[in-house]
Amino acid sequence: MSSTEKKKAESCGRIVLQVFLTGLAYYVATEIAWALCFPNSKVSLLFRRTLFWSSFLLLVPTRHWWAYTLATILAHFVATQQAHWPVLYALHCEAFDAVQNVLAAAGIRLFIKSPLNKITLRDAIVFVLIAVIIVPFGTAFWGAAFTISNGFGTDYWVEWRNLGISNGVTAVVLVPALLLVAERLSRRGSRTKTVRLLEGSLLALGIMIVGAYVLPLCRPDRTPRRLYSTRRSRC
């Protein structure tokens, strides 16, 4: 095998690993987000799993978006089936999330050309308009409609508000932070990045294992009644 072919094989292997870890991280984020939902709703205020999706797409070449999108869709679909969601509703959620996050990432890529460490005021305003206002509240009309139609919400405008606020708050607070962390790590050497990748993988695996054990216990039917004497479960 020539050096060129060897480099290509290593590059493909690295991309496959990154895609797999993306799906794993998205699965963990889904479980955590469900534990932080609004009352009587499936919308989480500050920990939206979709923030990882948008961040992943902004960090990788557009030609690889299909692979990362497929990984996140499969990860979320597995989580929904473990939670016994109706299959058609779950598939509708996957389509909604895919459109929402691809639109947000594409808009940011199209209208913001500055490097992350040279973002201007104009770039910041464009980011807020796209990722915090237009895409979240625009797609919330669709999201609230199919949520209510499947009996998973109490009021259309409440669901629309919750979806818009949730995605907007998450985008403005957490997406820039994740991108800055990724940009800082990319400046370091390959050995450091390998160690960080391994560390992150082990941490994600540990969180998934602990979450799989702990989260099912955090329900009224498995928790002492006194913990729920003054407030209801959030999900």
User: pLDDT of 12-57, one tens digit each?
Assistant: 878 888 888 888 888 887 777 777 665 555 555 555 566 667 887 8
Indicate whether 232 pLDDT > 50: no
186: amino acid identity, one letter: S
- 103 band by pLDDT with thresholds 50, 70 and 90: very high
Give pTM, 2 decimals.
0.69
Instruction: Please tell me the distance from the alpha carbon of residue 219 to that of residue 19, in angstroms, as a whole number.
Output: 32
Can you give the pLDDT at residue 44?
59
Indicate whether 105 pLDDT > 80: yes
Long-range contacts of 156-163 (CB under 8 A, 24+ apart): 158/41, 159/41, 159/43, 162/38, 162/41, 162/43, 162/45, 163/43, 163/136, 163/139
Distance of CA 118 to the CA centre of its chain: 25
Indicate whether 220 pLDDT > 70: no
> Which pLDDT tens digit goes with each residue over 174-216?
788 778 777 776 665 545 555 555 565 556 556 555 554 444 4
The single-letter DSSP state of residue 21 is H
Can you give the pLDDT at residue 160?
92
Can you give the pLDDT at residue 38?
57
- 230 band by pLDDT with thresholds 50, 70 and 90: very low
Indicate whether 225 pLDDT > 60: no
Name 71's Cβ contacts closer than 8 Å, sequence gap at least 6.
19, 20, 22, 23, 26
Residue 227 burial (10 A CB sphere; 0-12, 13-18, 19+): exposed
Count of beta carbons in the 10 Å neighbourhood of residue 154: 11
Name 141's Cβ contacts closer than 8 Å, sequence gap at least 6.
160
- What mean pLDDT is reported for the chain? 75
Can you give the pLDDT at residue 107?
93
Name 147's Cβ contacts closer than 8 Å, sequence gap at least 6.
42, 153, 159, 163
